[in-house]
Structure 1
Amino acid sequence: MSFIGSMCLLASTSQSPDGEAIRKHGFFHEWTLLTVVPVLMNAVGGILVGLVTTYAGGGFVIVSALLVTALLQFVFDGKPPSLYCLIALPLVMTSIFIYQKYPYVDRKKKD
């Protein structure tokens, strides 16, 4: 997926003004120390998501993502969680709880 995304990015910059500026001045032209901050934050966020998924399980990540998204949307946009979000959150939490308490067991391995 990353390779395909990179190829699409390269193809789109071949004819754009941004692509021309990159060819003329180089990729890192006019970068400052602050330009690196979002790149590093994205990398750290990816590592943290991987660690949480590894140690806490994917269910915890899904519930956390729903909660954080609803909270940030309320803080930054002033929009309270929608009815769908309020209904989905307990359903997701319940289904993950049931799945972790009673995980799927293949009958062939059990016998």
Structure 2
Amino acid sequence: MKKFVRNITSSSNLHKLITIKNNDEFLSKVMNSENPVIVNFHAEWCEPCHILTPKMKELVEHKDNIDLAIVDVENHAELVHTFEVKAVPAVIAVKNGLVVDKFIGLVDTSMIENLINKLDKKI
């Protein structure tokens, strides 16, 4: 029985995937999050987004202390303006309420891993 309970506990520590629905949710789940958050600005019509988003999910899924937030640029013009998103995909890394890194476009896996590792540091 103990082994079963332990497995349930560890599975609940998997990263959270957050689909941003409004600005208040962005503030509470990204800017005020205790965990660092990778924010993926994407659009349904964007082919590179359909490649990047699954890759980011895959790389973040084993990091229980990093969250991934998805922002649809078509539905969140204010956030697009605030973060000066000029092209998609655009990715920002937020830690302690501050943007600590970002990249634009479809990038290779090592660049995503570097971003994740930067957020994973306990600084």
Give the strand-richer structure, 1 or 2. 2
TM-score (norm 2): 0.21
Q: Which has the higher helix share?
A: 1
TM-score (ref. length: structure 1): 0.22
Which of the pair has more CA radius of gyration?
1
Larger RCO (CA within 8 A; separation ≥ 6) = 2
